[in-house]
Amino acid sequence: MTAVISSLKARKILDSRGNPTIEVVVGVRDARGEVCYGRAAAPSGASKGKLEVVDFPAGGVDKALEKVGEIAPRLSGIDASDQARVDEMLHELDGTPNLSVLGGNTTVAISLAVAKAAALAKQMPLYRYLGGSGDLTLPYPLGNVIGGGKHAGGYAPDIQEYLVVPVGARRASDAVFTNAQVHRKLGQMFSEANPSFTRGKSDEGAWSPNICNEGALEFLAEACEKVSAETGVEVRPALDVAASSLYDAERKVYAYKREAVTRDPGEQLEFILDLIERFKLFYVEDPLHEEDFEGFAELTRKVGKDCFICGDDIFVTNVSRIRMGIRSKAANAIIIKPNQIGTLTDTFKAVELARRNKYMPVISHRSGETTDETIAHLAVAWRCPMIKTGVVGGERIAKLNELIRIEEDLGDRARMSGLR
């Protein structure tokens, strides 16, 4: 063994909402006898799928820190390069199907920190350690520029995220700056349209204006057109509806409070189809609630290749749920969030299953983030066509700036992923 786990410790840190979360540091002794340290922090979501693993054990972050103290001697001496064994041990130590004893945030922080330490022990960047020696590709950043739903408050739209995709970018750095330009353009447009606009922002740094759902889309589409013309890089609008947050299970309707409108499942599907057509949407995430596999399948069938229909809450990075989607042909893209499933190995299995069945994997941040940059490396290592990681804010640009560094590191071999 050339990368033996020698230490494991954890601390409580802040996420981007000011809430506590866990950061883990793993020490690994390399072949020279020197210790390399890998560090990883876990994020937290506001809009969660009900089948995600439990984020923290009963007792919260403080209890999670105690659990790390119990886990440390069990992992000591294990080969850090055997990621599958490390992750299997975490499952065994927890003993529950939803990681409720240790907490999914506890296990994912340990799992990622082990991988980062093992990569350092082999003197490799994480993206190359996980991605192998072959050609790698850079993802297109999917950025949130207008925020509503559970990520905002007041009179913001009901739809949770209004997104942009710089589909015409030929370099990751160009893509990152193009998304930032759309964000900046929208701030100017909202201020010009409403002098009382406070320039308030949602949890992910997106603008949070007093505007109706379709009004926000009109602004978004116009900003995309303007920035596309200014930069020569085509930018397309997209949405994360977070429809489970709108769904009233008792009445079986989607309740849009901003406009005092309810839609039954059929009307919701037609509403989304209309938005895709009118605004030339490139991507729509969670357009229907998390149990509506049939509706997802119908929507995917009707839009064909015109739009990616992406599932988050319906799949929660869970292989069993993804298989259900594959059988019913629900969606053609999937959000991948490591802390939804709890370990690096489980996350990779979800990515591989999606890819084998022609579902586009989209590596994603959470609304409550840290400055941990790991998902940028995962997106490159696993050749994911897109990464969803915001546009502005320190916890978002940590990932975006890391993509720029990776692109520079790849040099002449740097290529963008194909989106189709």
Backbone phi and psi for residue 212, each to the nearest 5 degrees, phi listed first: -80, 170
Looking at the structure, do residues 156 and 240 belong to the same domain, yes or no? Answer: yes
For residue 419, being part of any structural domain is answered with no
Q: What whole-number distance in Å separates Cα of residue 344 and Cα of residue 81?
A: 12
Looking at the structure, do residues 388 and 249 belong to the same domain, yes or no? Answer: yes
Looking at the structure, do residues 216 and 258 belong to the same domain, yes or no? Answer: yes
Residue ranges in the chain modelled with pLDDT below 50: none
Whether residue 110 contacts residue 22, with contact meaning beta carbons closer than 8 Å, is answered with no
Only one residue has tokens 């089948």, namely 51
Looking at the structure, do residues 179 and 100 belong to the same domain, yes or no? Answer: no
For residue 161, being part of any structural domain is answered with yes
CATH number of the domain at 21, please. 3.30.390.10
Among 237, 30, 193, 225, residue whose Cα is nearest residue 117: 30
Q: What whole-number distance in Å separates Cα of residue 227 and Cα of residue 111?
A: 40
For residue 401, being part of any structural domain is answered with yes
CATH number of the domain at 352, please. 3.20.20.120
Total of domains in the chain: 2
Looking at the structure, do residues 92 and 241 belong to the same domain, yes or no? Answer: no
Last residue of a domain, one of 124, 159, 180: 124
The confidence score (pLDDT) of residue 50 equals: 81
Whether residue 354 contacts residue 347, with contact meaning beta carbons closer than 8 Å, is answered with no
For residue 104, being part of any structural domain is answered with yes
Beta-bridge partner residues of 361? 334
Looking at the structure, do residues 267 and 300 belong to the same domain, yes or no? Answer: yes
CA distances from 222 to 183, 225, 233, 255 (A): 12, 5, 15, 27
Last residue of a domain, one of 93, 124, 155: 124
Among 134, 138, 135, 160, residue whose Cα is nearest residue 148: 160
For residue 40, being part of any structural domain is answered with yes
Looking at the structure, do residues 112 and 219 belong to the same domain, yes or no? Answer: no
For residue 209, being part of any structural domain is answered with yes
Looking at the structure, do residues 80 and 150 belong to the same domain, yes or no? Answer: no
**Which are the catalytic amino acids?**
204, 337
For residue 420, being part of any structural domain is answered with no
Alpha helix segments (H runs only) across 280-343:
293-303, 319-328, 338-341
The confidence score (pLDDT) of residue 418 equals: 85
Beta 308-311 vs 333-336: how paired, if at all? parallel
* Residue 168 CB partners (closer than 8 Å, separation 6+): 228, 232, 233, 234, 235
For residue 418, being part of any structural domain is answered with no
The confidence score (pLDDT) of residue 101 equals: 97
Looking at the structure, do residues 205 and 137 belong to the same domain, yes or no? Answer: yes
Question: What is the per-residue pLDDT across 207-225, written as a single tens digit (0 to 9) for each?
Answer: 999 999 999 999 999 999 9
Whether residue 115 contacts residue 66, with contact meaning beta carbons closer than 8 Å, is answered with no
Looking at the structure, do residues 358 and 322 belong to the same domain, yes or no? Answer: yes
Question: What is the per-residue pLDDT across 255-271, written as a single tens digit (0 to 9) for each?
Answer: 999 889 999 999 999 99
Looking at the structure, do residues 111 and 147 belong to the same domain, yes or no? Answer: no
pTM comes to 0.96
Q: What whole-number distance in Å separates Cα of residue 343 and Cα of residue 383?
A: 19
Domain with 104, as residue range(s), is 4-124
Last residue of a domain, one of 100, 124, 148: 124
Looking at the structure, do residues 26 and 140 belong to the same domain, yes or no? Answer: no
Q: Record the tokens describing residue 411, joined without a space.
A: 């040099």
- Element containing residue 253 per DSSP (H, E): strand 253-256
